[in-house]
Chains A and B, each alone.
Chain A
Amino acid sequence: MNYEFDEILDTIKMTEIEHFDIRTVTLGISLRDCADRNLEVSKQKVYDKIIKYGKNHVKFAEEVEARYGISIANKRISITPISIPFDGLNRYEFIEMAKTLDKAAEDVGVDYLAGFSALVQKGFTRGERELLEAIPFALAETKRICSSVNVGSTKAGINMDAILKVADLIKKTAELTKDQDSIGCAKFVVFTNVPEDNPFVAGAFHGVTEPEVVLNVGISGPGVVLDAIKAAGKVDLQTISEVIKKTIFKITRAGELIGREVAQKHGVPFGIVDVSLAPTPAEGDSIGDILKAMGVEDVGAHGTTAALAMLNDAVKKAGLMASSSVGGLSGAFIPVSEDQGMIDAVRRGNLSIEKLEAMTAVCSVGLDMIAVPGDTPASTLAGIIADESAIGLINDKTTAVRVIPAYGKKVGDVVDYGGLLGLAPVMSVREISSANFVNRGGRIPAPTRSLTN
């Protein structure tokens, strides 16, 4: 036989027991040719283009799923940041456009369409200001639209005016969606150094340097890594790193195979594989559990940041060896609400927002799916975003904030979305004020790249 007995069982174990799945196949579609002076024509062009390229997306993904016996959890679509082709629209027209996108997503059969976004790290255009006003209403009035705003980059610095606007936007969104635990905020991400080929929602969009259409794939598999670390037993850290790398290598190879095959069915170029450990609320599918298996008593213990740094680095190294098309965010995600290990740590009082912030300096994204009290002032949210942006700015990495100021809730309450978004205990934030700092506005200049102590 060409394969060892153990190799075959290894694959079966990963796909059937350890929740190894392809987290998302995301079809990126450029909308840059859809602008027209007539809004109705623009909307029709957008709808037609998404249907044209996306109509078989779910079907193709399901065919590949059946062929390999690997589940593809989500089929999604990303689009050009909407402010780029439609900079001429006003806020009401942007809301109309969001509804058109939502309808297209529904008709194609995808659960999320992302890219209702703007890149404003250095300043706003007129259209981008209008878009930011429209985002809370767009998120409240649609089901499938996800939005993001990039407020900083290592090359441009941090746009504090944008952070202030975004903080207000988040508060407004929380209020508009208060009947559903402020769910609108779960569909909005603030980025620094945003990657242009990230397939993971809510922060996905189809970058302006991308081709007309492209297929990106995001793999996952915390359960596989967790079991491998447990099986390794009491060994030193280099050995743990090896175990993680070997496991990730295999799942990256599988992920690339699936992505290429779906792309081939579409007849579109394959873009990247994003090798990210993305947790789900399912038992055993948790980054928190991996950190505990590495040895810390609970997430938040001293040493957690070091463990996460090693995990994140090993994931990246293995991914880069396994595929020449690694991109996106690639690393370990630490969303609180989507990870049972993290939720438990917050409930036990072991994990605070400050420790999470430290962890984001070494994870692949940032403060993700964190619920804070509904009466948190916008200036404090701006402070949280500014801190996170600064970590990304100085370390030349992507950071993001997806924070939910849960309307009407206080510390100790929970927001419960069910499904993939999970459940978030409301965490406490500092009550001392950041207002005078953030309200200065302007821009934090781009950092120096030498003297990096």
Chain B
Amino acid sequence: MKISEEELRKITLTAINELGDKASPELVRNIVSSAVDKLGAEAELPQAETSAAPVLDRAILTSFGLNRPGVIAKITALLAESGCDLRDVSQKIMDDFYTLIMIVDLSSSKYQMKELIEKLSKIEAELNVKIFLQHENLFRQMHRI
């Protein structure tokens, strides 16, 4: 049995009302905890400062230019080194040109986004291609309502 947040709020309010002046945050918390335990609920009490959804820290890497061996290898090697997780890759090759789009999860990256961009710009200069790394929120904001 799952207890919704709404039900949890009702239980808490009832407890507070019954306790009257004696209500303190710890006391209410204990009472609600035991009430939930009795109900055999799987619900966990929300912690004071937890945010509802995990914060997504994903970026979109776009690269294009003249196709040559080792472009993708260079980029992915850097991402691997930094500990980024590749969530999706899509690539198109037209004649001599390529376009590469990757969705990269930065949450486990050891580099800050700024450092990653600096490192990518070295690859850019070395291979004479274009590489952009932009946070996913930008694309969501512009293309999804």
Residues of A that sit less than 8 Å from B by CB: 1-5, 7-12, 15-16, 63, 66-70, 250-251, 253-254, 256-257
Q: Report Cα–Cα, A69/B138, bound state, in Å.
A: 9
Interface SS, A side: helix
Q: Report Cα–Cα, A63/B113, bound state, in Å.
A: 9
A-B contact pairs, 22 of them (CB 8 A): A1-B88, A1-B90, A1-B101, A1-B103, A2-B88, A3-B139, A5-B92, A5-B101, A7-B142, A8-B62, A8-B139, A11-B139, A66-B117, A68-B134, A68-B135, A69-B117, A250-B142, A251-B142, A253-B142, A254-B142, A256-B141, A257-B141
CB closest chain-B residue, reference A16: B132
B138 pairs with A257, CB closer than 8 A: yes
A63 pairs with B139, CB closer than 8 A: no
Indicate the member of B62, B103, B137, B142 with the most A CB atoms within 10 Å.
Answer: B142
CB closest chain-B residue, reference A63: B114
A8 pairs with B60, CB closer than 8 A: yes
Distance in angstroms from A207 CB to nearest chain B CB is 27
Given contacts A1-B103, A257-B137, 15 further A-B contacts (CB under 8 A): A3-B143, A10-B143, A11-B134, A12-B132, A15-B132, A16-B130, A67-B113, A67-B134, A68-B137, A68-B138, A251-B142, A253-B142, A254-B138, A254-B142, A257-B141
Residues of B that sit less than 8 Å from A by CB: 60, 62, 88, 90, 92, 99, 101, 103, 113-114, 117, 130, 132-135, 137-139, 141-143
CB closest chain-A residue, reference B60: A8
Distance in angstroms from A390 CB to nearest chain B CB is 40
Distance in angstroms from A391 CB to nearest chain B CB is 35
Distance in angstroms from A56 CB to nearest chain B CB is 16
A69 pairs with B133, CB closer than 8 A: yes
Contacts of B132 in A (CB 8 A): 12, 15-16, 69
Contacts of B134 in A (CB 8 A): 11, 15, 67-70
Task: From known contacts A8-B60, A68-B138, A69-B134, infer whether A250 and B114 are also in contact, taking CB-CB under 8 Å.
Answer: no
A66 pairs with B114, CB closer than 8 A: yes
Please provide the 3 A-B residue pairs with the shortest distance between their CB atoms, ordered closest to farther: A69-B134, A7-B143, A250-B142
Q: Report Cα–Cα, A63/B134, bound state, in Å.
A: 12
Contacts of B138 in A (CB 8 A): 11, 68-70, 254, 257
Q: Report Cα–Cα, A63/B117, bound state, in Å.
A: 12
Q: Report Cα–Cα, A10/B130, bound state, in Å.
A: 15
CB closest chain-A residue, reference B116: A66
Task: From known contacts A9-B99, A66-B117, infer whether A3 and B60 are also in contact, taking CB-CB under 8 Å.
Answer: yes
Distance in angstroms from A26 CB to nearest chain B CB is 21
Contacts of A11 in B (CB 8 A): 134, 138-139, 142-143
Contacts of A250 in B (CB 8 A): 142-143
Contacts of A9 in B (CB 8 A): 62, 99
B113 pairs with A66, CB closer than 8 A: yes
Distance in angstroms from B86 CB to nearest chain A CB is 12
Q: Report Cα–Cα, A11/B99, bound state, in Å.
A: 14
Task: From known contacts A68-B138, A253-B141, infer whether A8 and B101 are also in contact, taking CB-CB under 8 Å.
Answer: yes
Contacts of A7 in B (CB 8 A): 139, 142-143
